[in-house]
């Protein structure tokens, strides 16, 4: 998997944000090990919000939620904490976020979710009321 990514002539983010690229990369995810996933997450870490709300890349993100480790989910929660509400209120982002939350397994992850929502709870209520 990682060799495939390293051989890409295109930027990885641009690739998974395209219809063809997203579809192709999902085929390789089945063969990804935790070490490769760490490298992928490191590569996309600063762009997780963009990936989660992208009409194509959100499918890639939903797929990775099924194969990532608890530590990798914690890394994701930490990276999206400031963007949590933006992601939650986006049509594609809400699916990505649901996939991530459903895969939650421990108290640390739940605390990160709560820490992401509580500061913006009032704002979130107004978004859903309108």
Q: What are phi and psi of 18, to 5 degrees?
A: -105, 155
Q: Which residues of 98-109 are buried (b: 16+ CB within 10 A; e: fewer)?
A: ebbeebbeeeeb
Summarised one tens digit per residue, pLDDT across range 103-127 is 999 999 999 999 988 887 777 677 6
Summarised one tens digit per residue, pLDDT across range 23-53 is 888 888 888 888 888 888 888 888 999 999 9
Total count of domains within the chain: 1
Q: Residue 63 is part of a domain; what is its CATH number?
A: 1.25.10.10
Residues 6+ away with beta carbon under 8 Å from 112: 74, 77, 78, 81
Domain that holds residue 75: 2-129
What is the pTM assigned to this prediction?
0.85
């Amino acid at each position: 998997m990682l060799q495939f990514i390293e051989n890409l002539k295109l930027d990885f983010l641009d690739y998974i944000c395209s219809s063809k690229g997203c579809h192709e990369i999902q085929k390789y995810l089945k063969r990804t090990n935790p070490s490769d996933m760490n490298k992928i997450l490191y590569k996309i870490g600063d762009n997780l919000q963009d990936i989660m709300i992208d009409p194509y890349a959100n499918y890639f993100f939903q797929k990775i939620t099924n194969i990532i480790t608890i530590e990798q989910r914690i890394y994701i929660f930490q990276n999206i904490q400031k963007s949590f509400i933006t992601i939650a209120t986006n049509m594609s982002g809400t699916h990505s976020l649901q996939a991530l939350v459903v895969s939650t397994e421990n108290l640390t992850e739940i605390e990160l979710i709560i820490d992401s929502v509580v500061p913006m709870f009032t704002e979130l209520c107004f978004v859903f009321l309108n």
